[in-house]
Structure formats: C-alpha cells, structure tokens
Amino acid sequence: MDGFSYKEIKELQQLIAPPKDDSDSDSDDSENLRQRLSRRKIGPGDIAGKANVAPCASPKPAAAKSAEAPSDIWHPAEVSPIADLQSEDPRELPEYEMKFKQALGTEDIFLGMNLKTPATASCQWLTLRVRLPGEKRERLELSVESNVVELRSPRYRLQLPTPFPVDPNGSSAKWHPDSDCLEISLKLSRELDDVNF
C-alpha cells in the first residue's frame, strides 16, 4: 500500500499542531495568545526583522539615504551613463513596443532537440515597433549602435537603450505606411553559454 505510515502521520500532526503543554502555571489568556500567534500568517518581512541586523554591518548615513528615492531600484553609480538628450529635446516621445523573437525550426517545435525555451535567453532577435502618426519615411533618421537605438524626425525623437548588445550590421528596418509604424529588427549579439544558446 502506497502512502504514509501511522508513525509518519503522527509526526506530521505534531509538526502542524504541537501538543499542548499540561503545566498548571500557564493561564488561559496566555494559552489563547500562544494559539493566536501560532496561527498568524508569516510573510517575507518576518524572515529577518530590523532587530536582526548583523553587528558588523554599518548603517547608511542619513544624508545618503534621503538623497535616494525609495522607488529607485539601482544606485546611480550602477547605471551606465547614456546621454539623455530626450529630456532636453522638445520633440514628442513616440509610442513604442519591444518584443523578443526566436528562430524556430521543426526540430525545435516537434522534437525539442535544441533545448530552446520560451525565455528571452533563447531569443536571437529584438523587434522594436515605433508608432509615428503623421510622419513619412523620407523624414526619418535612424541610428543603431551596439547598445542604443536613436530615431529622429521633425516631430518625434526616441533614444532607447537596448537590454542586450545588438549587431547594427545584422539589423533591418521596415516602414508600414498604412499604420505609420516603423518596425526595427535588431539582431542580438551576446555570448553563447549554457543559458544563451
């Protein structure tokens, strides 16, 4: 018979609901409090409280903490500086959409031989669709570098850092006149390893 033995079930029961202490020194109020605390939901904040700070850790100075916004994920020193001309330029920021693409063959779909996954680590292309209502193809200037895409027109300006390095020579762009949309296909150039294949 597959399943748990009587001994294993009893051990599990003791883990879930430990036996009550039969000492007379505990009052009913403290027993109720103990039961309520044992039923309290534990969240990620309960793992290490503020009182459990390591003694060798030095707290940050108050001036440095107030300079950083609480919603910032990265410290400014961790971000690579890219010239932010978008904030100084009066032209509009167009709507854009970025998607990853994979090159799949029958061996990937039916046989699963190349170990590709739906994750972005298995993608070879990055597609950028930029909506430019009221623009014409002749008035667009596109510049693709290894880590930034810059699009300029008399009405719009977009300077977008790419999430991964791209190959400017292996990339292409196509203008869709019916939707006033520019589709840029950027070939990703990253090292192949156990994750990126």
For position 174, what pLDDT does the model report?
93
Rounded distance, CA 71 to CA 33, Å?
37
Segments making up each domain of the chain, as ranges: 96-188
For position 74, what pLDDT does the model report?
72
For position 31, what pLDDT does the model report?
64
Q: What is the pTM of this model?
A: 0.52
The 3-state secondary structure of the chain reads: CCCCCHHHHHHHHHHHCCCCCCCCCCCHHHHHHHHHHHHCCCCHHHCCCHHHCCCCCCCCCHHHHHHCCCCCCCCHHHCCCCCCCCCCCCCECCEEEEEEECCCCHHHHHHCCCCCCCCHHHCCEEEEEEECCCCCHHHCEEEECCCEEEEECCCEEEEEECCCCEEEEEEEEEEECCCCEEEEEEEECCCCCCCCC
Residue with tokens 């430990």: 18
Q: Which residues pair with 98 in a beta bridge?
A: 128
For position 130, what pLDDT does the model report?
93
User: In which residue ranges of the chain is pLDDT below 70?
Assistant: 1, 19-70, 79-87, 112-115, 118-119, 191-197
CA 166 to chain centre: 19
Tell me how far CA of residue 161 lies from CA of 25, 64, 83, in angstroms: 67, 28, 10
Task: Name the CATH topology of 96-188.
Answer: Immunoglobulin-like (2.60.40)
Q: Copy the structure tokens of residue 178.
A: 């019916």
Q: Could you tell me if 183 and 176 are in contact, meaning their C-beta atoms sit under 8 angstroms apart?
A: yes
For position 47, what pLDDT does the model report?
58
For position 24, what pLDDT does the model report?
52
Q: Could you tell me if 186 and 149 are in contact, meaning their C-beta atoms sit under 8 angstroms apart?
A: yes
For position 63, what pLDDT does the model report?
46
Each residue's pLDDT tens digit, 144-158: 998 999 999 999 999
Tell me how far CA of residue 181 lies from CA of 44, 131, 135, 156, in angstroms: 44, 4, 9, 13
CA 134 to chain centre: 34
